[in-house]
Amino acid sequence: MKEDFKERVKGHRERLRRKFLEYGLEAFTDEEVLELLLIFGTPRKDCKPAARKALKHFGDLASVLEAPKEELLKIPGIGPKNMLAIKFVHAVARRFLERRLKRRPYLHSAKEVYEYLAHSMIDLKKEVFKAIYLDARNQILAVEDLFHGTVNESVVYAREVIERALYHHASALVIAHNHPSGNPKPSGADIQLTKRLYLASALLNLRLLDHLIVAKEGYFSFAEEGLLENIVQEVIKTL
């Protein structure tokens, strides 16, 4: 009976591998994705129950991937090797998405920028402010986390944002932060922050191309929604 169980588990794992090689990740449920990740850590164990428990506990696959190591280890069936497989794959994906952006034109790869930001920010419990620095051809030079905590005028220092732009010899920048609440709609503080950073950038001949707010319900682009142009016109009138 024990040997029959082992053979069934082995056959199931092999079917998952073949399914991925033939159809890709799109054919997988979140449970199957997580199960296969756990299998990489413990190849001789039935990992389906652990995958199911982790998804039930954290809510979805993204939340499992973002979960702290110590929280993952609390799930029955997930040990140090399983946890390592999950965190390693997640870190590799983040590095890939970030490096894929480097030296790519921002205006021609906006979708990739959103993919990276969503992957790195969407499940964070606190707000994080990022700056994306670009050269004169709008190619991405660097992506940096600059501030953590509640993102507003009193926390985000324009001087530091600009200093990093000068360090990278940037000609333009895109700023971004997340809304842990899930709603990407900008607050009054977000709008005021954008005004201040636009003015600080313009004084040094830097172009602020966009302010992106990333959340579970989607994203908000100041440029796409016309808010950035309104801010530009408002600042011009005050000069």
- Residue-level pLDDT at 141: 87
- Mean pLDDT for 118-145 is 86
Say whether both 132 and 114 belong to one domain: yes
Whole-angstrom distance, CA of residue 97 vs CA of residue 203: 32
Say whether both 224 and 178 belong to one domain: yes
Pairing status of strand 172-178 against strand 207-215: parallel
Say whether both 50 and 138 belong to one domain: no
Residue with tokens 């809510």: 59
Whole-angstrom distance, CA of residue 168 vs CA of residue 165: 5
Say whether both 234 and 123 belong to one domain: yes
Say whether both 169 and 82 belong to one domain: no
| % of the chain exceeding 90 in pLDDT | 31
Enter the tokens of residue 227. 């808010």
Range of the domain at 37: 2-95
- Mean pLDDT for 52-69 is 86
**Residue that terminates a domain, selected from 95, 115, 134:** 95
- Reported as a single tens digit per residue, the pLDDT across 145-180 is 898 877 665 577 888 999 999 999 999 999 999 998
| % of the chain exceeding 70 in pLDDT | 86
- Reported as a single tens digit per residue, the pLDDT across 3-31 is 555 666 667 778 888 888 888 878 888 88
Enter the tokens of residue 171. 């000609």
Say whether both 186 and 224 belong to one domain: yes
Say whether both 179 and 137 belong to one domain: yes
- Mean pLDDT for 189-201 is 92
**Residue that terminates a domain, selected from 64, 95, 126:** 95
CA angle 46, 90, 73 (to 5 degrees): 50
Whole-angstrom distance, CA of residue 82 vs CA of residue 185: 37
Say whether both 15 and 37 belong to one domain: yes
